[in-house]
């Protein structure tokens, strides 16, 4: 299992197998369609949805514009509440900080909950290499971890698995990690949940260190917020003596009041619930209640670089609701793994190439992993115009240009492998700005239409592999228009 998935093949290749995996397709189709219909109903219940969406967008934009100010304020309030703030510029630094903090407690085990940020930086693998075991406690994360698998969805990381597969994983793997699965485990949700509960309970009661993420951080009070459905998060946040929260710097909101908006839009967008079952908030430490030591590790890892991009920065508004994944027809067929990151689906397609840059194969292919149908933008509760950012990143891939990497301006060269396409686009531009040449080309195509092949060579082969080409008409429209004087002499 790899946390950061670098070295992944480009998206089309990664999607190739997924598209042919009928179990995966069926699992995904069922799950996404159920949740997308429910979401639509939950959202339709609020007549001020459009205003809430706009408010969420504005709050996030305002915060991002004044990020420095709010981060400093957050550090002050966390410190005042008895916590310690650490700053990590990248994944390595974050991993080193967390490892040191765990080492300082003398423990070699941690329980973890709700943290995409730690997956983004590959913390589990790093800890493992340092001899520290990290146990995932979110049900879906547990399934992923036990199955030596990778998450494939933001909210339901094991969405690609069905109940039968989960039962098999529990039966086979639980014993190696702690309490084994009960004998004769069936694949009913209740029994599976009970097995997980028993397995995890043991870990919660033993663990001295918890590692979490957060959905929001409130600058004015230094409060962190996690919303979840299982209650495991709450155990993880309150039982251990030391709590280490690893959070991306963009997760900040200025005031407690701002949560009002997101606590309405997030659950409806993600699980189609009016309110999420568990909302846990923690502010520093307090005597005799909850963790006695609290560390907040704030990670940048490409975020300020993303912030420097005028069009792309809107991706940082994301509240990880996963609504865009659930409506995405490409995600539904390609599966989450094809995106090569903990952030799959439409948001992953715009976030990963910004956080990691567009230089690897997978990152350069992600902006093309969309038909630009716009369904993601339509459902996004913070109105991220994902298609706009995709096209913007395509431009970066094919044309290169100036970007910010690690705080410095660098000029990217166009990605390799686009030379033929670039030449074709230029030729097309030339023809399209020279109508006479275009007309000649059309006439030639019409005249030779009997000789046109039904299968195309080169990149066109991808088209004719599954679809037939339209027949070339005997006469392009512009010739008909001329011949018939605008249709007036159209005898036929």
153 to each of 102, 144, 270, 326, 372, how far by Cα in Å? 28, 11, 11, 9, 20
Nearer to ligand SF4, 73 or 270 (CB): 270
Return the one option of ligand SF4, another protein, none that residue 482 interacts with (CB less than 5 to 8 A, by type).
another protein
Among 223-231, 305-313, 378-386, 395-403, the segment contacting ligand SF4 (CB under 6 A)? 378-386
Measure CA 377 to chain center. 14
Return the one option of ligand SF4, another protein, none that residue 442 interacts with (CB less than 5 to 8 A, by type).
another protein
309 to each of 137, 206, 407, how far by Cα in Å? 36, 45, 11
Nearer to ligand SF4, 182 or 374 (CB): 374
Extract the tokens encoding 479.
């010739």
Q: For tokens 């080492």, name the residue.
A: 103
The mark string for 339-378 relative to another protein (x by CB under 8 A, - otherwise) is ----------------------------xxxxxxxxx-xx
Four-residue CA torsion sign, 144, 148, 149, 151: positive
Hey, which residues between 266 and 305 contact ligand SF4 (CB under 6 A)? 269
Count other C-beta atoms under 10 Å from residue 395's C-beta. 14
Q: What are phi and psi of 282, to 5 degrees?
A: -140, 140
123 to each of 20, 36, 93, 117, 324, how far by Cα in Å? 32, 32, 11, 9, 26
Least distance in angstroms from the C-beta of 381 to ligand SF4: 6
Least distance in angstroms from the C-beta of 95 to ligand SF4: 25
Nearer to another protein, 274 or 478 (CB): 478
The mark string for 380-419 relative to another protein (x by CB under 8 A, - otherwise) is --------x--x-xxxxxxx--------------------
Among 103-111, 322-330, 396-404, 453-461, the segment contacting ligand SF4 (CB under 6 A)? 322-330
Nearer to ligand SF4, 384 or 403 (CB): 384
* Interaction between residue 321 and ligand SF4 (CB under 6 A): yes
Hey, which residues between 15 and 34 contact another protein (CB under 8 A)? 15-16, 19-20, 25
Q: For tokens 């993420």, name the residue.
A: 213
> Burial, 397: exposed, middle or buried (Cβ in 10 Å; 0-12, 13-18, 19+)?
buried
232 to each of 80, 111, 134, 189, 259, how far by Cα in Å? 28, 10, 15, 17, 22
460 to each of 70, 373, 456, how far by Cα in Å? 51, 22, 5
Of 8, 252, 272, 382, the one binding ligand SF4 by CB under 6 A: 382
Least distance in angstroms from the C-beta of 213 to another protein: 30
Nearer to another protein, 250 or 332 (CB): 332
Extract the tokens encoding 234.
């709450």
Hey, which residues between 165 and 224 contact ligand SF4 (CB under 6 A)? none
The mark string for 55-94 relative to another protein (x by CB under 8 A, - otherwise) is ----------------------------------------
Q: What are phi and psi of 134, to 5 degrees?
A: -110, 125
Of 426, 447, 452, 483, the one binding another protein by CB under 8 A: 426
Extract the tokens encoding 219.
């600058």
* Interaction between residue 216 and another protein (CB under 8 A): no
DSSP string, 41-70: HHHHT-TTHHHHHHHHHHHHHHHHHTHHHH
Q: For tokens 């994301």, name the residue.
A: 318
Return the one option of another protein, ligand SF4, none that residue 321 interacts with (CB less than 5 to 8 A, by type).
ligand SF4
Nearer to ligand SF4, 59 or 384 (CB): 384
Return the one option of another protein, ligand SF4, none that residue 382 interacts with (CB less than 5 to 8 A, by type).
ligand SF4
Are 218 and 267 in contact, with CB atoms under 8 Å apart? no
Among 78-86, 207-215, 376-384, 400-408, the segment contacting ligand SF4 (CB under 6 A)? 376-384
Q: Which of 455, 136, 157 is nearest to 325 (CA)?
A: 157
Nearer to another protein, 411 or 433 (CB): 433
Quick check: helix, strand or coil at residue 244?
Answer: strand
* Interaction between residue 329 and another protein (CB under 8 A): yes
Return the one option of ligand SF4, another protein, none that residue 319 interacts with (CB less than 5 to 8 A, by type).
ligand SF4
Extract the tokens encoding 292.
């006695």
Return the one option of ligand SF4, another protein, none that residue 196 interacts with (CB less than 5 to 8 A, by type).
none
Cβ-proximal residues to 473 (8 Å cutoff; 6+ apart), any chain: 446, 449
Distance CA 418, CA 8 (A): 19
Q: Which residues bind another protein (CB under 8 A)?
A: 11-12, 15-16, 19-20, 25, 310, 329-330, 333-334, 367-375, 377-378, 388, 391, 393-399, 421-422, 425-426, 428-429, 431-433, 435, 438, 442, 445, 459-460, 462-463, 465-470, 472-473, 475-478, 480-482, 486-487, 490
What residues line the site for ligand SF4 (CB under 6 A)?
154, 269, 318-324, 347, 379-382, 384
């Amino acid at each position: 299992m790899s946390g950061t998935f670098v070295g992944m093949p480009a998206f089309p290749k990664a999607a190739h197998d997924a598209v042919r995996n009928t179990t995966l397709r069926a699992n995904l189709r069922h799950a996404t369609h159920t949740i997308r219909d429910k979401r639509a109903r939950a959202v339709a219940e609020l007549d001020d949805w459009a205003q809430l969406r706009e408010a969420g967008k504005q709050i996030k934009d305002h915060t991002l514009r004044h990020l420095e100010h709010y981060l400093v304020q957050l550090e002050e309030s966390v410190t005042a509440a008895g916590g310690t703030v650490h700053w990590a510029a990248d994944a390595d630094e974050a991993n080193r900080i967390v490892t040191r903090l765990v080492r300082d407690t003398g423990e070699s085990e941690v329980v973890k909950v709700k943290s995409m940020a730690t997956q983004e930086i590959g913390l589990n693998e790093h800890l493992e290499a340092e001899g520290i075991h990290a146990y995932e406690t979110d049900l879906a994360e547990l399934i992923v971890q036990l199955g030596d698998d990778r998450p494939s969805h933001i909210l339901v990381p094991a969405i690609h698995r069905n109940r039968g597969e989960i039962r098999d994983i529990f039966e086979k793997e639980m014993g190696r990690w702690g309490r084994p699965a009960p004998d004769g485990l069936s694949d009913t949700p209740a029994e599976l949940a009970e097995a997980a509960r028993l397995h995890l309970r043991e870990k919660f009661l033993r663990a001295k260190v918890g590692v979490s993420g957060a959905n929001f951080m409130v600058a004015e009070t230094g409060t962190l917020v996690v919303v979840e459905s299982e209650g495991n998060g709450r155990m993880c946040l309150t039982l251990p003596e030391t709590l280490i929260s690893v959070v991306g710097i963009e997760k900040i909101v200025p005031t407690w009041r701002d949560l009002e908006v997101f606590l309405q839009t997030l659950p409806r967008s993600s699980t189609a619930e009016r309110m999420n079952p568990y909302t846990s908030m923690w502010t520093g430490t307090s005597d005799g209640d909850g963790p006695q030591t609290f560390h907040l590790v704030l990670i940048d890892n490409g975020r300020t670089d993303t912030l420097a991009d005028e069009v792309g920065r809107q991706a940082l508004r994301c509240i990880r609701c996963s609504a865009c994944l659930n409506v995405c027809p490409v995600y539904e067929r390609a599966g989450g793994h094809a995106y090569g990151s903990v952030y799959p689906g439409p948001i992953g397609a715009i976030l990963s190439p910004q956080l990691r840059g567009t230089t690897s194969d997978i990152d350069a292919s992600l902006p093309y992993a969309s038909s630009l149908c716009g369904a993601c933008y339509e459902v996004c509760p913070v109105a991220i115009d994902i298609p706009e950012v995709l096209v913007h990143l395509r431009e970066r891939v094919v044309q290169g240009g100036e970007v910010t990497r690690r705080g410095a301006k660098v000029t990217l060269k166009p990605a390799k492998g686009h030379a033929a396409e670039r030449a074709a686009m230029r030729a097309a531009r030339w023809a399209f700005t020279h109508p006479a040449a275009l007309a000649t080309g059309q006439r030639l195509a019409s005249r030779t239409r009997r000789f046109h092949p039904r299968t195309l060579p080169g990149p066109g082969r991808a088209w004719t592999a599954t679809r037939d080409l339209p027949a070339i008409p005997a006469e392009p429209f512009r010739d008909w228009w001329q011949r018939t004087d605008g249709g007036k002499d159209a005898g036929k």
